[in-house]
Structure 1
Amino acid sequence: MSSCLGETDNMRQPTFTRFFLPQMLSFAACCLLIHPALLSASDDPYGGFKMGIQSYSLRGYPVEEALKHSQELGLTYWEAYSKHLPMSTLPSHIEDQKKLLEGSGITLDAYGVVGFDSNENKAREVFDYAKAMGLLSISANPKKDEATFALLDKLVEEYQIPIAIHNHGPGAAYDKVDDVLQWVEGRSPLIGACVDTGHYLRSDEDPVEVIQKLGKRVFGVHLKDVRTIYSDEEKATLLESLPPNRKKHLEQEGKIFTILGEGELNVVGVLRALRNIDFDRNLSLEYEENPENPLSDIELCLAEVRRAVAYLDDEEEEGFVQIWDGETFDDWTINESPETWKIEDGAIVCNGPRSHVFYTGDLAPFKNFELKVDVMAEPNSNGGIYFHTKYQDEGWPKAGFETQVNNTYHKDPRKTGSLYAVDDVNEQHIPDNTWWTQHIIVNGKNVKILVDGKVVTDYTESEGQEPQQGFDRLISEGTFALQGHDPGSTVHFKNIRVKKLP
């Protein structure tokens, strides 16, 4: 959330062109776009997450209308901001707020963002309000000094209500995750963070990695997305319409807030990371744009969360067949340097001299297909997944295409999701030491590469395409191979499954 208590509400911009939505939604089941109110009580489109909203998203409406719209959106959890629910510990005020929330079917789980300093009386008012309202956390922007944190240490233990330090992007007190980690180290486990994914993206931090670093100290999440503007022409057009504060962001950072799924946030990765830490608190969508009429945009944001949950939870994956048994190299053939490969904790792990392991089972060859591989790369590691290739005794495979695995490998700018040396990606989508799903779809002359459900490469081979010198990189048919790149690279592969297409 980019406004603390008392900050003005002019932080808005028009809805931006939905560049990526059509290709994203094409992989979502139609039911994901059904309005949540039409789903049966037994359905859970949010996969066990307590999906809610930061009421700042609805700041253009009085509280009664905001609550009504939340209910219509199928959301029953709120993190409130001060203009919707002013803070007061008067018993009559508390009673009125409780009745208002109960009448709307909304549970208030969190509140913020609230400033704290060393004033104990003022701080106790906040905690007294939180206790009276049954809050599970307080999103906070505490002053960075020892006296303030000593006070918070005492109060969170006394009230048993966590403080969730909220990041506000470049130039703010808590810009980077290390700013939070520095101040929570050695303190009560009830002092942690509210991870605002949009502001971390503005600060060039990966929200997935942020969640991994904070672990059990994550007490809140504000889901929002950010898109980097690379085109000077688009930037000039946007600067004509943006309000002053957004112009400043774009000029200084080259980024804008956007609808969830249209920017650079790895929504699937965020949800996976939250599950890994057993996050059980309010997952608050926060959409800061278009405050006078945000509802259709919020619907699209929520559809993206449901799409991400469905992708994460698609255990059946109808039509897919496992082509690695999880225990042996049966149906796979290693060429040079077999010592590069081992099987460990249910994964194929490569580390050593150049080597490739080829699928040589009965299902080969493959022409049109979908291949999904779960991958994890350690820091400064390079690897790859080949398709339409064929076994060769040594060297880099000359037949077929490589889909790149490289998050932080220094020597090669081609990042994860690249169709190597054919259609390259230069932006990092995945942090090191985290699992993701690399999904390759080949249909006719078209190749799509998805990283955690998001299309990062969409390539169509032109008619009459000539192969590169020394390589046979033409769409045809063949088998798959995993790459062991060099002794300094360690990459893990598991859950290798394929579906043949007509």
Structure 2
Amino acid sequence: METRRTFIQKGLLGMTVAAMAGTAQGMTQVGLRKQKEDKFQLGIAGYSFVKFGLDESLAMMKRMGVRYLCIKDFHLPFKSTPAEITAFHEKLAASGVTGYAVGPIYMTKSRADIDNAFEYAKRVGVKLIVGIPNKDDLAYISDKTKAYDIRYAIHNHGPEDKLYPNATSIYELVKGLDPRMGLCFDMGHNMRDGQDPIKDLERYHKRIFDIHLKNVTAAAREGKTCELGRGVIDIPKFVKMLRKVGYDGKCSLEFEKDMSDPLAGLAESAGYFKGVQDASA
């Protein structure tokens, strides 16, 4: 027989459970809402999958819930036919993935490499090339961006890079060129060169078209890629700056810690980034 006391206890328990469920649901909705309100999207830099075929790479992306891919030529060769390009995009779509850019592509041998890269991007159907060109060819590339209406983002590679070690070295070269000339901002390499990736994001955001999202173990030449939440870059502050400047491109994880087995590190980094989005105002 149910006494008045047990009746009240059950009622209070039910109210508590309902309140907890409502709070959890509310927190989930707030988190999802914050991610939806962000103008930037999480992606993967194709180089992270350099040792894997397309099917394996897409399977990893599906497990992580990441839907944007910067396309590398080892997944879609430069000489791909229209039929092969169509089949490639269909395979991506079947996994819920969109190819948003091509590269990085090295273009330091001849201007023919530049011409081929723009034709490749046009055939693939993307509006962004990530490239590493010679400085002497920047005006030529600027003319190409106008002719093709395709943006060109130069990638910085840290202190070992004699051409483009950091964001400033690129910005100073492109600031007077066509506005479709800009940066693929590798924040990790920028930090390894002794720069401040958060301040540089604020300084150069109007010319940053793509971001290679990573953390590093030290703000020095010997710094190595590590999982996003384990390095010296303050990722929550970086996300706040993304929002402050209204960045609306991709933040693509590039994980070079273990190229033979990248899934665990990529998944941890993707989860951390989404958690920071949810937790930060």
Closer, same or farther: CA 62–118 of 1 in aligned 2, 3 Å:
closer
Tell me the equivalent position of 1:305: 273
Q: Which has the larger radius of gyration?
A: 1
Is 1:262 the counterpart of 2:230? The answer is yes
Tell me the equivalent position of 1:75: 66
Is 1:193 the counterpart of 2:183? The answer is yes
Which of 1 and 2 has higher RCO (CA within 8 Å, sep 6+)? 2
Is 1:126 the counterpart of 2:120? The answer is no
Whole-angstrom distance in 1 between the partners of 2:159 and 2:142: 27
Tell me the equivalent position of 2:3: none
Q: Which amino acid aligns with 2:62?
A: Q
Question: 1:89 Cα shift?
Answer: 5.3
Closer, same or farther: CA 295–45 of 1 in aligned 2, 3 Å:
farther
Q: Which amino acid aligns with 2:139?
A: A
Is 1:225 the counterpart of 2:215? The answer is yes
CA deviation digits over 1:77-123, x for unaligned, max 9? 00122222222253223222222222222100112111225844432
CA deviation digits over 1:51-84, x for unaligned, max 9? 1111222223211110121112101100122222
- Higher strand proportion: 1
Q: Which amino acid aligns with 1:55?
A: G
SS of 1:269's equivalent? helix
Whole-angstrom distance in 2 between the partners of 1:119 and 1:57: 27
SS of 1:99's equivalent? helix
2:224/2:257 contact within 8 Å kept:
no
Question: 1:127 Cα shift?
Answer: 1.3
1:209 to 189, 199, 218: 199
Q: Which amino acid aligns with 2:182?
A: G
2:167 to 165, 177, 180: 177
2:171/2:183 contact within 8 Å kept:
no
SS of 1:93's equivalent? helix
Is 1:50 the counterpart of 2:18? The answer is no
1:78/1:109 contact within 8 Å kept:
yes
Tell me the equivalent position of 1:113: 104
Q: Size of the alignment, in residue pairs?
A: 251
RMSD across aligned C-alpha pairs, in angstroms?
2.3
Question: 1:167 Cα shift?
Answer: 0.5
SS of 2:248's equivalent? coil
Closer, same or farther: CA 101–256 of 1 in aligned 2, 3 Å:
same
Unaligned runs of 5+ in 1: 1-30, 32-38, 230-251, 314-502
Whole-angstrom distance in 2 between the partners of 1:100 and 1:303: 25
Tell me the equivalent position of 2:13: none
Closer, same or farther: CA 91–179 of 1 in aligned 2, 3 Å:
same
Closer, same or farther: CA 117–305 of 1 in aligned 2, 3 Å:
same
Closer, same or farther: CA 269–206 of 1 in aligned 2, 3 Å:
same
SS of 1:83's equivalent? coil
2:107/2:131 contact within 8 Å kept:
yes
1:118/1:151 contact within 8 Å kept:
no
Question: 1:45 Cα shift?
Answer: 6.9
Whole-angstrom distance in 1 between the partners of 2:261 and 2:223: 22
Tell me the equivalent position of 2:261: 293
Whole-angstrom distance in 1 between the partners of 2:149 and 2:251: 20
Whole-angstrom distance in 2 between the partners of 1:73 and 1:44: 19
Alignment of 1:359-370 (within 5 A): none
Closer, same or farther: CA 44–127 of 1 in aligned 2, 3 Å:
farther
2:107/2:114 contact within 8 Å kept:
yes
Tell me the equivalent position of 1:34: none
CA deviation digits over 1:413-456, x for unaligned, max 9? xxxxxxxxxxxxxxxxxxxxxxxxxxxxxxxxxxxxxxxxxxxx
Whole-angstrom distance in 2 between the partners of 1:83 and 1:214: 31
Tell me the equivalent position of 1:149: 138
Question: 1:191 Cα shift?
Answer: 0.4
SS of 1:228's equivalent? coil
Whole-angstrom distance in 2 between the partners of 1:117 and 1:110: 20
1:99 to 69, 81, 90: 90
Whole-angstrom distance in 2 between the partners of 1:150 and 1:86: 27
CA deviation digits over 1:240-284, x for unaligned, max 9? xxxxxxxxxxxx834222111111112122222222332222210
Question: 1:44 Cα shift?
Answer: 5.5
Closer, same or farther: CA 68–188 of 1 in aligned 2, 3 Å:
same
Closer, same or farther: CA 88–154 of 1 in aligned 2, 3 Å:
same
Determine what percentage of the aligned residue pairs are the same residue: 28
Tell me the equivalent position of 2:150: 161
CA deviation digits over 1:473-497, x for unaligned, max 9? xxxxxxxxxxxxxxxxxxxxxxxxx
Whole-angstrom distance in 2 between the partners of 1:44 and 1:58: 30
TM-score (norm 2): 0.82
Tell me the equivalent position of 2:75: 84
Closer, same or farther: CA 117–58 of 1 in aligned 2, 3 Å:
closer
SS of 1:289's equivalent? coil
1:55/1:79 contact within 8 Å kept:
yes
Tell me the equivalent position of 1:410: none
1:168/1:199 contact within 8 Å kept:
yes
Q: Which amino acid aligns with 2:172?
A: Q
TM-score (norm 1): 0.47
Whole-angstrom distance in 1 between the partners of 2:80 and 2:192: 36
Whole-angstrom distance in 2 between the partners of 1:92 and 1:117: 29
